[in-house]
Amino acid sequence: MIQTEALKSRLHGVITALVTPFRNGNVDFPALDNLIEWQLSEGIDGFVVCGTTGEAPTLCKEERIAIIRRAVEVVGGRVPVIAGTGTNDTRSTVAFTAEAASLGIDGVLIVTPYYNRPTQEGIFRHFEAVAENVETPIIIYNVPSRTGGDLGLPTLRRLAGLRGVVGLKDATGDLSRPLGVTNLLGDGFLQFSGHDATALGFCQAGGRGTISVISNVAPGLCAQMHKACFEGDIRQAQSIDRQLRPLFAALERETNPGPAKYGLHLLQRASPEVRLPLVEVMPETASALRDAFQEIAGKEAGDDIAIQPVV
């Protein structure tokens, strides 16, 4: 039986789209363990592993399985662990999702098929095939900037009726969408922002939280912002959001997760290493990240939110 209601009750707030740390070309599992523990200590509400930020396209199957298994083990049920399992091949997506579901994860995040540019009917049938063949909750991931196609509301309505489909990660940055989806599907359908710069507005408009890149490097601030938002302290949430603005901008200067990994390098928490065809950040981006961290650390906004990078 698919545990959809259990996931719906637990999945909220800021979910870190976790980087995959590398060391000399290999997955750095000790660094992964330490990142997870640090994130949890800072108040993060969950993890997505092996997603876009986790460089899934450059991970072999054995590495993805090992990362998922390790994350589930280290987290130990303290927060939900979601695995990115989507590809642009339906058969491969079904097979890998089924395998990932056997590892103790709480659900999967599946991107709409990319590169092939399927029609809306093709998108529906892709997810239908997954839903009919796996036993785990499914979150749909709509990121037109990477896939080359948008997920239409009529298609989303059909997808929401599939077995196991519980929600959507929306990375469009369009703040009209959460209200539109709520009007279409009701409050029970989970919506998560996939665009940090508009995440606060998304949550105010009906979102359940954010599947976040910036929380890799500023987990405490992100957790506090979401907590303030959902407790109705909008002034505090907006104050933290303003503090994060320089970091939002710095992280978007180059392709994710290069800047996020360099930020973790500044914080002495992981190597900046990425896998080709991604490359380490340019000097200008590195400088912007240093400046953003220094600006955040220099502002007073309450207890336990200062970021102290190595510069």
Annotated binding site: 53, 211
Token pair 């970091």 is found at 247
Task: From 175, 243, 176, select the one nearest 214 (Cα to Cα).
Answer: 243
Point out the catalytic residue in the list 114, 115, 169, 262.
169
Bridge partners (DSSP) of residue 82 are 48, 107
Q: Is 85 exposed, middle or buried (0-12, 13-18, 19+ CB in 10 A)?
A: buried
- 3-class SS letters over 170-198: ECCCCCCHHHHHHHHHCCCCEEEECCHHH
Binding-site sequence positions for pyruvate: 53, 211
* 141 labelled catalytic: yes
CA 217 to chain centre: 13
* 169 labelled catalytic: yes
Length of the chain: 311
**CA pair distance 269, 32, nearest whole angstrom:** 9
Point out the catalytic residue in the list 115, 141, 227, 299.
141
CB atoms within 10 A of CB 127: 24
Q: What are the phi and psi torsion angles at 107 (to 5°)?
A: 175, 180
Active site residues: 141, 169
